[in-house]
Amino acid sequence: MTGQTFSCNVYVSAGSNIEPVKHLRMACAVLTEVYGPLTTSSVYCNPAVGFVGDDFLNMVVGFSTNASPQSIHDFLKQVNHRAGRPLNGPGYVSRTLDLDLLLYGDRVIESDDVRVPHEDIKNYGFVLGPLAEIAPDLRHPANGHTIAELWDAFDHDRHPLTRLVISPL
């Protein structure tokens, strides 16, 4: 079995409320350059959660890779930083870019750095809604429900989303 690599489907959330179109386009370009073709959700607008700030634009992207979860996590942090986000900045603040590893195949991983499935999937409509758009039949690795089932059961009034029509990212 030496030399074989296995491809894994990966999903990443992307959000911004500082020059969001610019930063989401940059993120998609960089992810495409490194990981190849992306599956992209629509872009959604939603109010800031956890603090008072400008509305966010959010989306989810998917790609297939043989990169490790740790290397993807580290790369996403580098891209966030390249977009102007401090490496260890505060949590609930306006930001140029917020990329998070949501799912790595059907794996459940809990290490110091990497936790998948990401808890934001169940907690925030701006993550779950776009994920349900591009991967409705995918099963959540921890609870077995499809992403569509989770989205149908989600309290949509808690985190209202507005789908935007934005030229292709």
How many distinct structural domains can be found in the chain?
1
- What 3-state DSSP class applies to 109? strand
For residue range 38-87, what is the model confidence (pLDDT) as tens digits?
999 999 999 998 888 899 999 999 999 999 999 999 999 999 999 887 66
pLDDT of residue 166: 79
Residue 143's domain comprises: 8-164
State mean pLDDT over 146-161: 93
pTM for this structure? Answer: 0.92
Domain contains 137: yes
Is 148 within a domain?
Answer: yes
Q: Kindly give, in sequence order, each residue whose CB lies less than 8 Å from that of residue 55, ignoring residues fewer than 6 positions away.
A: 17, 45, 46, 47, 48
pLDDT of residue 158: 85
What residues are annotated to the active site? Answer: 85, 95, 98, 100
Q: How confident is the model at residue 117 (pLDDT cuts 50, 70, 90)?
A: very high
Q: pLDDT higher for 6 or 159?
A: 159
Task: Quickly count helices (H) and strands (E) in the chain.
Answer: 5, 8
Instruction: For 90-105, write each residue's pLDDT tens digit.
Output: 667 789 999 999 999 9
Which pLDDT score, from 0 to 100, does residue 169 have? 64
Residue 16: pLDDT above 70?
yes
| 136 inside domain | yes
Counting other chains too, the contacts that 118-122 makes at CB distance below 8 Å and 24 or more residues apart are 118/13, 120/13, 121/147, 121/150, 122/150
Q: pLDDT-based confidence at 124, cuts 50/70/90?
A: very high
Mean pLDDT score, 163-168: 78
Residue 1 lies in a domain: no
Whether 2 is covered by a domain: the verdict is: no
**SS3 for 44?**
strand
Q: What CATH number does the domain containing 109 carry? A: 3.30.70.560
Q: Confirm whether 62 is domain-assigned.
A: yes
| Average pLDDT rounded to a whole number, residues 138-145 | 95
